[in-house]
Structure 1
Amino acid sequence: MSATANILSRLQPVGFRRLAHAHLNLPPAALVEAAVCRKEGVLTDTGALMADTGQFTGRSPKDRFIVRDEKTADSVWWGDINIPFEAAKFDQLHQKMVAYLEDKELYVREGYAGAHPASQLKLRIVNELAWHNLFCYNMFLRPEEGADTSWAADFSIICAPSFEADPAVDGTRQKNFAILNFTKKLILIGGTGYAGEMKKGIFGVLNYLLPHEQDTLPMHCSANIGSHGDAAVFFGLSGTGKTTLSTDPNRHLVGDDEHGWLPGEGGIFNFEGGCYAKVIDLGAEKEPEIWNAIKFGSIVENTRFVPGTRTVDYANKSVTENTRTAYPIDYIPNIAVPSIGPVPTNIFFLTADATGVLPPLSKLDKSHAMYHFLSGYTAKVAGTEMGILEPQATFSACFGAVFLPLHPTRYAEMLGQKMDDHPVNVWLVNTGWSGGGYGVGSRMKLSYTRALITAALTGQLDDVKFRPHPVFGVQVPGAVPGIPTELLDPRRTWADKNAYDKAANQLATKFITNFEKYAAAANEEILAGAPVVAPVAEVQVEAPVLVAA
């Protein structure tokens, strides 16, 4: 069988009947060479491939669809996040894409999603661009050298940035689209060069399949393992410090973005084989692991050079603030091999609270853990997005609502069940402001946040007394080694205590308002974790009573 015939046989299940020219599982060097020759990118002075994603420098959530059919009609959480798409329109678009690609040079990649053998998803990806195929090599798990990959894929992706839909005919909103079809086990991506659509498309697939079929909790989080074999996971939205805080020289990195938590004693596992990190303002001192990982085989997206050089100017955001790098996880030192860990001992919810209300560290019982998991709170501040002139509260269910095909309460209930089954500690960590809100207070020192997390990880808080926050009900430690005591109670850091009380109530009201869309489906235990808005005169906590956690 010729090479082309071999590849065609593997692509027939996804609709291809002929191929002009295709490459199968090319190594990174060949893909870099192809990308440079085809003018898809250029090399930086560290050997990384610099490529642009075109018009779209991030995902386009309003153009992400799920085919609504017999399989998904009653299981998917339909709405603004999971937008339904007609099965017949999908078939029509699929046929048009295949016909468009059959005359082009294609790059085919085979790999896995899911480091644990019990939950591996076999993937086959068809790329129009060589650098996209390198992205897939970096981000998905790579089969062992010489392994037979002529499998029937569990899920496939067809990605063609130059193929644009006709919205009037094809049923899309715009010319770009990303459509998941769970019945046909296929993702179609067109009209966008943003490589992250492929990564997050498969994450969405796993968020649907794993709870349904394996009672496994998918998580948008980073994870690491300590020297004593204790695992920790870190949830957090953009800007909260998830990647920074999980990259610890004293702990082994399991992964930086997507994980699953198996039932029983199965523990956690990484979905991916690489890292997709933001690089805006990246520096060697600030993020040495990421800095050193940007070398031959890595990709940098939408960055620009220092004029007259091939040195990347990471402060340059002329294209986008969402500049990124993609590299294999083994480019990072001190990783867990394989990317698997035990049942977590500690879970951290990271939030950059720009109001300065939340404590720098607090402990959550089951009710508060499920409530805050469903809330997924952080804050955007001025300068992060156009049009934002003052801090804005932002909520994203399970710290990743845009990737959840099922109702968010399903994932929160699974987390609650995990807490029933295992002695896991859940912590809320404010990496945001203290002593006042944004513009008045100051950002929490990274050294303090690291010290707080280390104290939690190493058991230094096991015998510390805690007291409940009067509005949010979370348990606040009375003392933490190396941390100023007054910093632990956010109210004490404010010069104007009444102003703090008002801000706390205002933030609590935002939590409650946001939660209204989940309330009907949430059980009583979740609802018990809600904050309590009280008259300011009653919120006086100068001398709190300490109680054992």
Structure 2
Amino acid sequence: MCVNLGYLGIKDYRNVYRNLPVSTLVEKALEKREGVLCENGAIVVNTGKYTGRSPEDRFIVRQKNTESKINWGKVNKPIEEQVFDSLYKQVLEYLKDKDLYIFDGFVGAMREHTLQIRVVCEYAYECLFAHQLFIRPNKEELDNFNAEFTVIAAPGFKARGKEDGVNSEAFVIINFDKKVILIGGTQYAGEIKKSVFTVMNFLLPEKGVFPMHASANIGKSGDTAIFFGLSGTGKTTLSADPNRNLIGDDEHGWCEKGVFNFEGGCYAKTIKLSREREKEIYDAIRFGTVLENVILDENKKTDYDDESITENTRAAYPINYIDNAELSGVGEIPHTVIFLTADAFGVMPPISKLTKEQAMYHFMSGYTSKVAGTERGITEPKATFSACFGEPFMPMNPAVYAELLGERIEKHGTNVFLVNTGWLFGGYGKGDRIKLSYTRAMISAALEGKLENVEFEEHPIFKVLMPKECEGVPKELLNPENTWEDKEAYREKAIELANNFTENFKKFKNVPEKIVQAGPNV
């Protein structure tokens, strides 16, 4: 298909391939030795030095349009326009005489909120990644396509660090005025997905749409549920419910009509993957799937337990590879929102109900905990907070997103529950992690309205409401203090965590007092 890249200044390339079928993209990637096929037909690639996102190398161009709207700081680092322009020219020069692969498609399954994106790739496998992750157009849509935002991914181009005004050889720069995302120096394809997500999270609030770093599923009666949670909390596992259809596993918008998936695919972690534990993901890894940094044995058989390259091994596949997927990517207004946390201190209730203000407080906090083995140097549980359960991708002030959540809870009477998938009986290293079967029972009870008429008690420190009974869960587990032999030690640990919450929340300025007061008693 003929495509004009003149508006980008890209010229003198060898060939340009637009929206090639999956089989041809795989063929091209193999031909150029970008990857190999494994025993199940997926293409396996090694992303080299960068096996995950590079947060220190991500920038947003400081412009009049963004100056007062971006929450500038360590996460959203500003960069001057001349730095972007200089790197852009160098990338254009680098792309001369190269084959280019283009994916034209959409982000946002609800068409009134769709963004038309063009992804220009140096590598065929990155184009395949975009094809599988974003929403694929039909022929008529492709014939009438008009790119609103463009991603240029040139992993082979290495910046000169400080000399080029950036931190290293890698860079991810979002330019909202030029509507371009420029990526260089890193082969990690997740940078494409997450930078587009960041753009959506900036554009949608101005249209009154609440963007969410969350998974979503839908029940047989059409009831929609949202799951927020950081890595390790069970968001992917718990939203992939065999009794409910998956709308999407990562990125959604909530508008007046309902919830819609941003994507047309899934980007799942594969470390320790087994068919027994995560059948849906395991079975989705087949021809057309992109596997990143997964180790193969001499027979080209995948070893998902081998983390010798990275723990962040990934699979990118279209959502129709999941048997019980909601292929429209759209659901009704959510009845229930679940916040997931993996509390390693053993003090958070297994399930608790939140008021609107508490929901806004815990949403802005975005709490979970890290345990030994998750990061170098961590030997004891450590509280970690990521605003809006996805701070690296939320370019605006967290209060903007929290207000959108609060408005929806108020308008639709949506129930919000905080579910702890972490530890009880003394916390990590002493007690046990909450059984997955109990967590599933609690979530089912919340989704099916079985907690509507039970009696609740207020937690003395966190002030959240704990049910006194829940079908399928022993009563004594519902109040975490009951699981500790030493009650005084429980209260000390709970106060320690409450202090962490309070200290973290001090960074948010001009927050309504009602929301501040919804936090723990200290």
TM-score tier by shorter-chain length is over 0.9
* TM-score (ref. length: structure 2): 0.99
Structure 1 SS opposite 2:67: coil
1:302 aligns with 2:296: no
State the one-letter code of the partner of 1:223.
Answer: A
Match of 1:363 among 334, 339, 353: 353
State the one-letter code of the partner of 1:327.
Answer: Y
For residues 243-277 of structure 1, the C-alpha deviation after alignment (integer angstroms, 9 at most, x for no partner) is 00000111111000000001x3x110000000000
| Mapped contact 2:104–2:145 kept (Cα < 8 A) | no
Q: Corresponding residue for 2:243?
A: 250
Match of 1:158 among 152, 156, 173: 152
| Mapped contact 1:301–1:324 kept (Cα < 8 A) | yes
After TM superposition, list the pairs within 5 Å mapping 1:140-539 onto structure 2.
Answer: 140-212=134-206, 214-262=207-255, 264=256, 266-306=257-297, 308-518=298-508, 520-533=509-522
Q: Corresponding residue for 1:77?
A: 71
| Mapped contact 1:110–1:149 kept (Cα < 8 A) | no
State how far apart, in whole Å, the 2-side matches of 1:25 and 1:205 are: 22
Structure 1 SS opposite 2:141: coil
| Mapped contact 1:253–1:336 kept (Cα < 8 A) | yes
Structure 2 unaligned blocks of 5 or more: none
Structure 2 SS opposite 1:456: helix
State how far apart, in whole Å, the 2-side matches of 1:336 and 1:31 are: 26
Q: Kindly state the Cα deviation for residue 461 of structure 1 after the two structures are TM-superposed.
A: 0.7
For residues 316-365 of structure 1, the C-alpha deviation after alignment (integer angstroms, 9 at most, x for no partner) is 00000000100000000111130000110000000000000000000000
State how far apart, in whole Å, the 2-side matches of 1:511 and 1:498 are: 20
State how far apart, in whole Å, the 2-side matches of 1:150 and 1:318 are: 46
State how far apart, in whole Å, the 2-side matches of 1:508 and 1:394 are: 12
Q: Corresponding residue for 1:102?
A: 96
State the one-letter code of the partner of 1:232.
Answer: A
Q: Corresponding residue for 1:113?
A: 107
State how far apart, in whole Å, the 1-side matches of 2:139 and 2:432 are: 51
* TM-score (ref. length: structure 1): 0.94
Tell me how many residue pairs correspond in the alignment.
522
State how far apart, in whole Å, the 2-side matches of 1:445 and 1:336 are: 28
Structure 2 SS opposite 1:378: strand
State the one-letter code of the partner of 2:181.
Answer: I
| Mapped contact 2:387–2:398 kept (Cα < 8 A) | yes
State how far apart, in whole Å, the 2-side matches of 1:502 and 1:495 are: 13
| Mapped contact 1:374–1:408 kept (Cα < 8 A) | yes
| Mapped contact 1:434–1:441 kept (Cα < 8 A) | yes
State the one-letter code of the partner of 2:329.
Answer: S
4+ runs of 1 displaced by more than 6 Å?
Answer: none
State how far apart, in whole Å, the 2-side matches of 1:296 and 1:438 are: 40
For residues 489-517 of structure 1, the C-alpha deviation after alignment (integer angstroms, 9 at most, x for no partner) is 00000011111000000000000011110
| Mapped contact 1:278–1:322 kept (Cα < 8 A) | yes
State the one-letter code of the partner of 1:526.
Answer: I
For residues 279-325 of structure 1, the C-alpha deviation after alignment (integer angstroms, 9 at most, x for no partner) is 0000011000000000000011101113x221100000000000010
State the one-letter code of the partner of 1:492.
Answer: N
For residues 155-192 of structure 1, the C-alpha deviation after alignment (integer angstroms, 9 at most, x for no partner) is 00000111011223321111100000001000000000
Match of 2:18 among 20, 24, 40: 24
| Mapped contact 2:162–2:168 kept (Cα < 8 A) | no
CA spacing shift, 1:505–1:149, aligned 2, 3 Å: farther
Q: Percent identity?
A: 52
Q: Kindly state the Cα deviation for residue 18 of structure 1 after the two structures are TM-superposed.
A: 3.0
Structure 1 unaligned blocks of 5 or more: 534-549
State how far apart, in whole Å, the 2-side matches of 1:372 and 1:153 are: 37
Structure 1 SS opposite 2:197: helix
Greater mean deviation of Cα atoms: 145-154 or 269-278: 145-154
CA spacing shift, 1:412–1:48, aligned 2, 3 Å: same
Q: Kindly state the Cα deviation for residue 63 of structure 1 after the two structures are TM-superposed.
A: 0.7
1:63 aligns with 2:57: yes
CA RMSD of aligned residues (A): 0.9
State the one-letter code of the partner of 2:243.
Answer: N
State how far apart, in whole Å, the 2-side matches of 1:193 and 1:17 are: 23
State the one-letter code of the partner of 2:430.
Answer: V
| Mapped contact 1:275–1:326 kept (Cα < 8 A) | yes
State the one-letter code of the partner of 2:511.
Answer: A
State the one-letter code of the partner of 1:60.
Answer: S
Q: Corresponding residue for 2:45?
A: 51
Q: Kindly state the Cα deviation for residue 17 of structure 1 after the two structures are TM-superposed.
A: 3.1
Q: Corresponding residue for 1:543?
A: none
| Mapped contact 2:293–2:309 kept (Cα < 8 A) | yes
Q: Kindly state the Cα deviation for residue 62 of structure 1 after the two structures are TM-superposed.
A: 1.0
Structure 2 SS opposite 1:157: strand
State the one-letter code of the partner of 1:154.
Answer: E
For residues 13-40 of structure 1, the C-alpha deviation after alignment (integer angstroms, 9 at most, x for no partner) is 2221332211111111001111111110
State the one-letter code of the partner of 2:68.
Answer: D
State how far apart, in whole Å, the 1-side matches of 2:12 and 2:69 are: 36
State how far apart, in whole Å, the 1-side matches of 2:479 and 2:161 are: 54
State how far apart, in whole Å, the 1-side matches of 2:426 and 2:377 are: 23
State how far apart, in whole Å, the 2-side matches of 1:309 and 1:429 are: 42
State how far apart, in whole Å, the 2-side matches of 1:261 and 1:226 are: 17
| Mapped contact 1:164–1:191 kept (Cα < 8 A) | yes
1:139 aligns with 2:133: yes
State how far apart, in whole Å, the 2-side matches of 1:17 and 1:282 are: 43
Structure 2 SS opposite 1:268: strand
Q: Kindly state the Cα deviation for residue 145 of structure 1 after the two structures are TM-superposed.
A: 3.9
